């Protein structure tokens, strides 16, 4: 009586068959290949393995069949958490940036279009806008502060700021938004000084105040030139 041998690691099974011509040796070997770990849309793909099966017979010869196993997807909580933190920081920076920009526009509007109105004079004497801008700036500065901030600010051996360090420090949205709040506060303060000086000396300041909104040094310069020309005439 002939036998058919099925080799399946680790067990060996013998099966009787009718004739020797139908002898088939079915050898199955499962060997895990190298695992592949990757990420897809914020998820980690782990445990991707491939096994191969080898079949041999007198009639068909030998053949190898590859059979990949089903991959296992594991949700990567850490990546999702980092993405959520980054999104929250970006939204905070954008909201504060817009809020501060809109908040200073009414004061410039009053100084330019109604410089002699009582509302404008009272508004320019108030310290509320500087308190609000100061609090917003402190909040963004706290959120954007890192252990490397001072190192980037004073990177040279003389403890002076360097341009490459400043560029790297202001590459983040939070730090850039805090710098914008800083500029808004300083520009508004300079515009108010120009406005008060114009009222005291009866000098036209609307053009200088308008320039202080976006180009503060040029606005101060034009006020100095305007004041000098007014006194000379």
- Three-class DSSP category at 10: coil
- Three-class DSSP category at 102: helix
User: Count of CB atoms within 10 A of residue 205's CB?
Assistant: 24
Contact call for residues 214 and 232 (beta carbons, < 8 A): no
pLDDT digit of tens for each residue in the chain (233 aa)? Answer: 444 444 444 444 444 444 444 444 444 444 444 444 444 444 444 444 545 455 555 455 555 444 555 444 444 444 444 444 445 678 888 999 999 999 999 999 999 999 999 999 999 999 999 999 999 999 999 988 888 888 888 877 777 888 888 888 888 899 999 999 999 999 999 999 999 999 999 999 999 999 999 999 999 999 999 999 998 87
Q: CA-CA distance, 14 to 3, in Å (whole number)?
A: 6
Q: How many domains is the chain partitioned into structurally?
A: 2
Range of the domain at 28: 2-75
Q: CA-CA distance, 85 to 197, in Å (whole number)?
A: 46
Q: Helix, strand, coil % (nearest 5) of the chain?
A: 55, 20, 20
Please check whether residues 107 and 62 belong to one and the same domain. Answer: no
Please check whether residues 217 and 172 belong to one and the same domain. Answer: yes
Provide CB contacts within 8 A for 8, sequence distance 6+.
Answer: 28
Please check whether residues 6 and 53 belong to one and the same domain. Answer: yes
Please check whether residues 114 and 228 belong to one and the same domain. Answer: yes
């Amino acid at each position: 009586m002939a036998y058919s041998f099925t080799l399946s690691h680790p067990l060996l099974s013998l099966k009787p068959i009718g004739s020797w011509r139908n002898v088939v040796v079915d050898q199955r070997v499962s060997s895990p290949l190298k695992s592949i770990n990757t990420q897809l849309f914020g998820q980690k793909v782990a445990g991707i393995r491939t096994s191969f099966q080898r079949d041999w017979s007198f009639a068909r010869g030998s053949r190898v069949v590859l059979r990949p196993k089903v991959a296992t997807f594991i949700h990567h909580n850490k990546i999702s958490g980092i993405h959520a933190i980054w999104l929250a920081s970006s939204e905070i920076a954008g909201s504060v940036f817009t809020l501060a920009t809109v908040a200073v526009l009414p004061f410039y509007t009053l100084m330019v279009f109604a410089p002699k109105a009582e509302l404008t004079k009272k508004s320019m004497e108030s310290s509320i806008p500087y308190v609000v801008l100061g609090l917003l700036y402190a909040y963004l500065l706290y959120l954007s502060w890192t252990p490397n901030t001072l190192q980037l600010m004073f990177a040279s051996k003389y403890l002076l700021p360097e341009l490459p360090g400043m560029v790297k420090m202001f590459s983040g949205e939070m730090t850039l938004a805090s710098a914008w709040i800083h500029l808004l506060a300083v520009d508004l303060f300079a515009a108010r000084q120009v406005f008060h000086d114009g009222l005291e000396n009866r000098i036209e300041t609307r053009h200088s105040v308008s320039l202080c909104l976006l180009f503060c040094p040029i606005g101060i310069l034009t006020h100095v030139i305007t004041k000098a020309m007014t006194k000379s005439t």
